[in-house]
Chains A and B, each alone.
Chain A
Amino acid sequence: MSSNPDESGVGVNAGEVLLDAHNVTMQFGGLRAVNDVSLRVHTGEIVGLIGPNGAGKTTFFNCLTGLYKPTAGSVEFLGEPLPPKPRLVVRAGMARTFQNIRLFHNMTAIENVMVGMYSRTQTNAIDAIFRLPRHRREELASTKRAKELLDFVGLTGSGDSLSRNLPYGDQRRLEIARALATDPKLLLLDEPTAGMNPQETRQAEELIFKIRDLGLAILVIEHDMRFIFNLCDRVACLVRGEVLVEGTGKVVQNDPRVIEAYIGAPATEPDWQQPGDRPGEGVADA
């Protein structure tokens, strides 16, 4: 998707600003995992977040989804400050998947998806105890919607298998279905193709485009460069907690600093003498 004429960034499909992270900093004791990161995501956009291991990508995700409270900076979603609790973030319209699959392993696939609908359904325990018609109607609707979502991600017929018994690729897709069940406006995918073979990766790519076509914005962390540059309208490269460069795939791909961050600079001095490379020393002068 590097057909975008505007080299600086905003994709062709982009609409209004959905997510606006402003100078987000996350410090754990002496370690500054995320340093002054700003990022905007517009509706209908696919934005990629790349960076070497330990660059702070997942930490940044955790700041966005309310799991961590940023030490400094602000995150706005749909023009409102981010609610303080993860479940309220979900309600506001942000859903995510995880780097390590975090399904509810002992629940069936369809139950996993239905758990995702929790914040979008109205009935409570009282309705359930007295089996009010409202409860039954909503259960039927939830089941129907969950089946649709499973079909959408390509898990037709797997609804009744325990999620831990599903093949790996299917578990990844189930996580996406569960996230979609929260009815999000922005979907955050943390390494959706980790551990997948090329064919599965291609399927994941198609799925993500399909989700974008539903009108969702997507923010995706990935190490598979081919995948990310195929997919994303815009890519930000995070190195040692800071945004090194942000722009279209082409811009990022050709930036010498990105290549340096991944592969290393021409050796003038041994790596281990570079100050920023020691653990615990998050802030680099890069």
Chain B
Amino acid sequence: MELFFQQLINGLSLGALYALIAVGYTVVYGIVQLINFAHGEIFMIGAFGAFATWTVMGRPADWPATTALLVLLPLMMIGGMVAAIAVAVATERFAYRPLRGAPRLAPLISAIGVSVFLQELIRLFFGTNPFIPSSSWPVRIPGWPDAKSAVPFPSVTGISGEIISIGGVTIQMPAVFTLGALAICTVFLWYFVNRTKTGRAMVATSQDPDTARLMGINVDRVIVSAFAVGAALAAIAGVAHGLRYGNIDFRMGFLAGLKAFTAAVLGGIGNINGAVVGGLVLGVAEAMATTFIPGQFGSSAWKDVWAFVLLIMVLVFRPQGLLGAKVVDRA
């Protein structure tokens, strides 16, 4: 039973990570019916944005827990969010908006292109940094990483490596951070969607963009805010990922993005609550599969197999997702 609860906690924290990213897929899909395959890279940019903020701050280490939690972590999160939002908004502006009237396939291909572009950009920028050469640049940033693949993510005192135990169940602090972030973000999103003008405009646009336009809504701005909201949450997920695994790399967005997309479909794409539920269900399913499926099929190497088996099963038996996809109804 202890094992079950342990895996439940592990699954929920992993699922919270998926959920934070999945919201970005689902919000954008709900409004422009575009599967933004570059969203996984936005998550990765968020992590690297936080990392770059830390580097620019002079790589602070071993700060006491209070300063680390109240200054370092918020600054890293803001840095990550700014980077992610900037990239997401630019992507929308230059890669998707010109294709707004084009057949569905065009923006999809564009999204894949953006995805590869961003991966390579980060690899080169943080690898052999062409903009800030380590030797010749007058204001060199000390310790700019020269990473071919993985970069160690800065540790935040009070979270990294800390654990709490409750009755034999071990909970890692990064997991607590992820779950807490998801809880706060969910509340914030609910408030944003239901109690603000921009949120209402988003809902209206997702139901009927043409009518929304005829009611005076600036649909372009609504689309940009959808991308921005998704990017902000993905950046938080990026920081959570860094804290959880201790390092980040330019490819981290690929599988995480794919899993989050699965989570969004699982919950019902276009449905924000669905993305959260789908993420948590997927995370728990993965964690349970690695523990309770016997033999070699239950080893952790198989967890991705089970995750996607779950996706296929949901698509076959409940294609609208667990909570129901947004139905586009037009008169």
Contacts and interface: CB of A to CB of B under 8 A. Distances in A.
Interface of A: 65, 67, 85-87, 90-91, 95-96, 98, 100-102, 104-107, 111-112, 114-121, 123-125, 128-129, 135, 138-139, 142, 178-179, 182
24 contacts: A85-B213, A86-B214, A86-B216, A87-B214, A87-B216, A87-B219, A96-B214, A102-B208, A104-B207, A104-B212, A105-B329, A111-B200, A111-B203, A115-B200, A118-B197, A118-B201, A118-B217, A119-B218, A121-B197, A125-B198, A125-B225, A125-B228, A128-B199, A142-B197
B200 A128 contact: no
B196 A135 contact: yes
A87 B211 CA distance: 10
Contact of A86 (B197, B198, B213, B228): B213
Given A87-B217, A104-B204, A107-B203, A115 B212 contact: yes
B192 interface: yes
A91 B192 contact: no
Interface in B269-297: none
B126 to A, nearest CB: 30
A115 B208 contact: no
Contacts of B225: 125
Contact of B215 (A105, A135, A182): A182
B331 interface: yes
Contacts of A119: 216-218
Interface residues of B, number: 27
A118 B195 contact: no
A220 to B, nearest CB: 17
Given A128-B196, A128-B198, A67 B217 contact: no
A156 to B, nearest CB: 21
A89 B196 CA distance: 23
A219 to B, nearest CB: 15
A115 B204 contact: yes
B225 to A, nearest CB: 6
Given A102-B331, A142-B197, A116 B207 contact: no
Contacts of B210: 67, 102
Contacts of A87: 213-214, 216-219
A100 B198 CA distance: 26
B211 A116 contact: no
Contacts of B204: 104, 107, 112, 115
A54 to B, nearest CB: 19
B325 to A, nearest CB: 12
A178 B207 contact: no
Contact of A104 (B192, B197, B211, B228): B211
B77 to A, nearest CB: 14
Contacts of B219: 87
Given A115-B200, A121-B197, 15 more contacts: A86-B214, A87-B214, A87-B218, A96-B214, A98-B331, A102-B330, A105-B329, A107-B203, A111-B203, A116-B215, A118-B197, A119-B216, A125-B198, A135-B196, A182-B215
B326 to A, nearest CB: 8
Instruction: Name the residue among A90, A105, A118, A179 with the largest chain B CB count within 10 angstroms.
Output: A118
A178 B215 contact: yes
A101 B216 contact: no
Nearest to B232: A129
Interface string B184-210: 000000001001111111011001101
Contacts of A90: 214-216
Given A87-B216, A115-B212, A106 B331 contact: no
B102 to A, nearest CB: 20
Contacts of B192: 128-129
Contacts of A101: 331
A263 B331 CA distance: 30
A230 B76 CA distance: 68
Nearest to B326: A106
Query: Ordered nearest first, which 4 A-B pairs have the shortest CB separation?
Result: A119-B216, A90-B216, A128-B196, A100-B331
Interface in B291-331: 329-331
